[in-house]
Chains A and B, each alone.
Chain A
Amino acid sequence: MNLMLAAAAAAQTSAANQYIPLIFVFVLATFIGLDVIRNVSRLLHTPLMSLTNAISAVVIVGAILVAGHEVDGGQPLWINILGLVAICAATINIVSGFLITNRMLKMFKTREPEKKP
């Protein structure tokens, strides 16, 4: 009994350790993000927001993994359907986010060089 508890505790620790590298990735990516975003021109804050909108639609990756989970596992089908709905929602953001960002950025122009005096 004691042995089993010890084994369970060990499994628990290794499970925790397994997440440490992910937490490193998260912390470092956050620092990169803070630094990069601080340098974004204030002019472009609206396009920045629609761009990050499209980028955060990377959750489509998770949605595909859920929707694509082999149904033979016998799990209820509605789990896969949730994944499909999530794919649809994420695609809306990817398509509209990138397109509208591009559309807005096209509008930012510098002054045309002076023509004739």
Chain B
Amino acid sequence: MTAETRDLLVQILYLVASVLFIFSLKWMNSPQSARRGVMAGVWAMVLGVGGTLANPAVAVSSLPWIALAVMVGGLIGFPLSKVPLTAVPQRTALSHAFGGLAAGLVGTAKYYLWLHEGGEMLTGFRVFAISAEVILGFLTFTGSLMAAGKLQEILPGRPITYRGQLVINFLTLGGAIACAVALIINPQLSFLFPVLIVLSLAFGVMLIVPIGGADMPTVIALLNSYAGLSAVAMGFVLDNRLLIIAGALDGSSGLILSIIMCKAMNRSFSNVLFGAFGSVQESGVEGEGKAVKSATPAEAAEMMEQADTVVIVPGYGMAVAQAQHRVRELYDQLTKRGIKVKFAIHPVAGRMPGHMNVLLAEADIPYDDLVEMEEINSDMAQVDVVLVLGANDVVNPAAKNNPKSPIHGMPIIEADRARTVLAVKRSMKPGFAGIDNELYTMDKTLMVFGDAKAVVGDMAKALAGDSGGH
């Protein structure tokens, strides 16, 4: 085979791989075709890697080393795919970190390679693309490591803030951009390149440190987008269309998810990224002194048994307590009695987009019964019992009624319109945002205190014991 036909073959393989990547994402539009989507993605990757290995520029002598690196990566990657589903947010953040690292390293290697070859290849555009790749790659690397640390609770989940934080952040990013500009003007200023790397790494840390746990869904989506964009930049550096297309798909996916998350919290990007300061000071003065009514799990179970429709609103508390299998038992007991049970899923419930859906699917709850916020709200007045399970801000009526509330304007699941509200909670401590929830003090609300897993388990047991008697 001549080098020319080989090159043509590589391009054709890349083309097929690009098409398969697009189909892979397209098939994610429904759960029926989604697994086909995964297969399309796998094939696209195989063709992309195969095409690259067929590239004459890859030295045959390097193949054993490449195989070794792939094996090591596979050995680390395999156990990472076996984590419990409650740990999926931190696993996702961790893999964004690996993606960013890979992009940053390739950009660095390319710069020094071309510099070594005399620097003729380092055109202004290429240095621009390399700088974008390195800044995005390394900031995604450290930023995602921080996010993973917060989600795994190795690092404190609360926002870490200090005086002048915003100024320091902007100076760091500004410094990195200044290095990039200087390198574009004169690529031979190689002493600036390590400075660029260090500033990008530092900016990633500083960007995520002030962001709190409840904003993680947006942040993870945004980091997803950055990882994609760094792949695009790499595509420009290497003149590689497959990288550009796959990176653009990834980048737009992250962008759309973060827009959905922002809308679901009625916040802007800049507010999520830079607005953590002081947002926690709001603390309820008004809710104090109001009495709450409480019920035992058995009493609560009895109320659900009397209902025709029950809506369960899961939140991060369900994930923390790993209560999803108990929820399934409760669901079985209720549906057995002919009671209609639906799950109302708020887009930002949990720590990443779609978090609740995956946990409930793991517990074998059919996805027909998982309903989106907009859909359930129109029927809420006809619902007999709403069971709020470890959710807080997403059912807080203050978002609608109280213009002074920090979450005012955020779309919520309107649990307060149902006939009866049962709220499972550890204690009366306010939720993550530190805001009082007037839902808990309403006349139709009964609090069931305790760990979500234990409480729901008791409810299911009460119903099971009951049905034995009939």
Residues in A lying within 8 Å of B, measured CB to CB: 12, 15-16, 19, 22, 25-26, 29-30, 32-34, 36-71, 73-76, 79-80, 82-112
Contact = CB atoms under 8 A, between A and B. Distances in A.
A105 B38 contact: yes
A99 to B, nearest CB: 4
Nearest to A66: B109
A59 B250 contact: no
A58 B243 contact: yes
B166 interface: no
B273 interface: no
A79 B110 CA distance: 8
B248 interface: yes
B101 A105 contact: no
A76 to B, nearest CB: 7
6 contacts: A51-B24, A64-B52, A86-B106, A92-B73, A100-B81, A111-B368
B25 A22 contact: no
A37 B112 contact: no
A105 to B, nearest CB: 5
A30 B229 CA distance: 10
Given A107-B364, A111-B366, A83 B106 contact: yes
Interface stretch (B251-259, B308-316, B397-405, B438-446): B251-259
A54 to B, nearest CB: 6
A103 B251 CA distance: 24
A103 B354 contact: no
A111 B246 CA distance: 35
B251 A93 contact: no
Given A69-B57, A88-B70, 14 more contacts: A29-B245, A32-B22, A38-B256, A43-B354, A45-B353, A49-B220, A49-B353, A64-B52, A65-B52, A69-B59, A75-B116, A86-B103, A88-B72, A91-B74
Nearest to B106: A62
B31 A89 contact: no
Given A53-B92, A56-B231, A58-B45, A83 B81 contact: no
Interface of B: 18, 21-22, 24-26, 28-31, 34-35, 37-38, 41-42, 44-45, 48-49, 52-53, 55, 57-59, 61-63, 65-66, 68-70, 72-74, 76-78, 80-81, 83, 85, 88, 91-92, 95-96, 98-99, 101-103, 105-106, 108-110, 112-113, 116-117, 123-125, 220-221, 224, 227-228, 230-232, 234-257, 260, 345, 347, 352-355, 357-358, 361-362, 364, 366-370, 372
Nearest to B226: A56
Contact of A49 (B73, B232, B257, B368): B257
B106 A59 contact: yes
Q: Is the interface of A mostly helix, strand, loop or mixed?
A: helix
Contacts of B85: 104
Q: Which of B105, B220, B242, B246 has the most chain A CB atoms inside 10 A of its CB?
A: B105
A91 B231 CA distance: 15
Given A42-B354, A60-B102, A94-B45, A99 B224 contact: no
B130 to A, nearest CB: 11
Contact of B38 (A12, A51, A68): A51
A45 B240 CA distance: 28
Contacts of B124: 12
A15 to B, nearest CB: 5
B231 A58 contact: yes
B28 A92 contact: no
Contacts of A107: 358, 361-362, 364
A5 B224 CA distance: 43
Nearest to A64: B52
B407 to A, nearest CB: 21
B70 A87 contact: yes
B125 to A, nearest CB: 6
Contacts of B113: 66, 69, 75, 79
A50 to B, nearest CB: 6
A30 to B, nearest CB: 5
B236 A22 contact: yes
A83 B25 CA distance: 28
Contacts of B53: 64
B28 A40 contact: yes
Given A37-B253, A44-B31, A52-B254, A110 B101 contact: no
B366 A96 contact: no
Contact of B57 (A32, A65, A98): A65
B354 A96 contact: no
A65 B113 CA distance: 12
A4 to B, nearest CB: 15
Contact of A96 (B22, B78, B256): B78
A62 B234 contact: yes
A107 B362 CA distance: 5
A12 B182 CA distance: 18
B61 A71 contact: yes
8 tightest Cβ-Cβ pairs between the two chains A and B: A91-B73, A45-B354, A95-B77, A33-B252, A68-B58, A99-B81, A29-B248, A45-B353
Contacts of A82: 105-106, 108-109
A48 B224 CA distance: 11
B62 A47 contact: no
